Amino acid sequence: MKILFVSYHFEPYPHVGAKRVSYWAKNFKKQIDKEAQIDVLTSTAFEQKSFGIDNQIRITKNKKSILSFLIKDEGLDWSKSIKTFFIENPEIKYDIVLMSGGPFMQFNLIKWMKNRWTCRVILDYRDPFSNNPRFKNSFIKKRIKRYFEKKYNKAADSIITVNTFCLSLLSVYKSNPEKFFVIPNGYDETGLNEISPADISDKMADLNLIYAGSITEDRHPGELIKALKKFNKEIKFHHVGRETDLVDYSNQSVENYGVRSYEETLAFIKSCQIGLVITSGVEFESTTKIYDYMGVGVKILILTNGKVKTGSLHEETKEYNVVWAENNEDAIVEILSVLKNQQNLKLTPYTECSRKEGLKKLAKLIY
């Protein structure tokens, strides 16, 4: 079995979109089939040959096309370079191609690959493409994206996404439900127990909240930071990720550690008692960090700009110890007052949502 994993981002690139497909590629031989040939095609640089991967193919983007002015998707120009590479290397062929997005426009190659190699093609949507409620696309842009997404999903043999809410937003799902499957993002259980908490005792408070990842305009902790002023430095907000103008990092209740490796991020999470999630309130919204928090075993606080206990995040965490609050100062002060007085906030890691379990589902689909 020759399997090609196609993803614009791949480890060691720190983008969250690289984590899921990187785990699948690196662990397929170890956990599923040691006789399989596993190749990876990506645009990002490798530090070294990854264990478990036979061939690493790095292809950078070609010149921009006219369509790129309408669809801002890096896969559009990248797909041209991919096609050129395989035309110049006719001896290469595969039985299975798994293409992960976003970006998504490399999905243009589905029919071309199937005709060239007589292979099966599996698409992995980590987010919706044409119908993403978080993006304020114009009517024309949505129609253009929808046209391509329908074409991709009809041509693919199988389609994977991260949760049932995202599933309902994908084209041709209602007419071809048998082609669609859900595999949650999950957390990387590899070596998790060996990671020690980060040594940040000099920066800790009585209660410590950590947020791992990017902060965006529709999902930011501005109301939380205002609420922290009511607690006289008893509670701190720790952020692992790139600094942003949306956060006042001069506030003494805020600590930023910059962009860190996955292992370093887990070490910071282990140092804190509360894992923070901020959601814009859209139903399909999920986040990889929710699984990291569950894997480490910290209590989770979800701040939402929508209704509490709704959508995919509620479905994925309802069996875990999670508290919700509306993302406004008064609601946050109320929930933090409760959490500050609770004992034993550390929990037992939730192994059912590991990436190992997700890989088993992928293997069942492949075979």
Q: For residue 364, is it within any domain?
A: no
**For position 293, which CATH number holds?**
3.40.50.2000
| pLDDT on residue 211 | 95
> Do 167 and 21 belong to one domain?
yes
> Do 330 and 245 belong to one domain?
yes
Residues (pLDDT < 50) of the chain are none
> Do 214 and 343 belong to one domain?
yes
> Do 220 and 291 belong to one domain?
yes
> Do 203 and 123 belong to one domain?
no
> Do 244 and 346 belong to one domain?
yes
Task: Write down the residue that tokens 């999902």 correspond to.
Answer: 219
| pLDDT on residue 345 | 74
List own/partner pairs for 57-64 with CB under 8 A and 24 or more apart.
57/85, 59/85
Whole-structure pTM value: 0.78
What residue type is 7 in one-letter code? S
> Do 222 and 127 belong to one domain?
no
Q: Is 232 helix (H, G, I), strand (E, B) or coil?
A: coil
Single out the residue of 87, 38, 37 nearest to residue 59, CA to CA.
Answer: 87
> Do 160 and 243 belong to one domain?
no
> Do 303 and 172 belong to one domain?
no
Q: Are 359 and 21 in contact (CB under 8 A)?
A: no
pLDDT in tens, 177-203: 999 999 988 888 887 888 999 999 999
- Sequence length of the chain is 367
Structural domain for 231, as ranges: 192-351
| pLDDT on residue 216 | 87
> Do 289 and 335 belong to one domain?
yes
pLDDT in tens, 274-325: 999 999 888 877 787 888 998 888 999 999 999 999 988 888 888 887 999 9
Q: For residue 26, is it within any domain?
A: yes
- Cα separation, 302 vs 315, in Å, equals 13
Q: For residue 241, is it within any domain?
A: yes
> Do 129 and 274 belong to one domain?
no
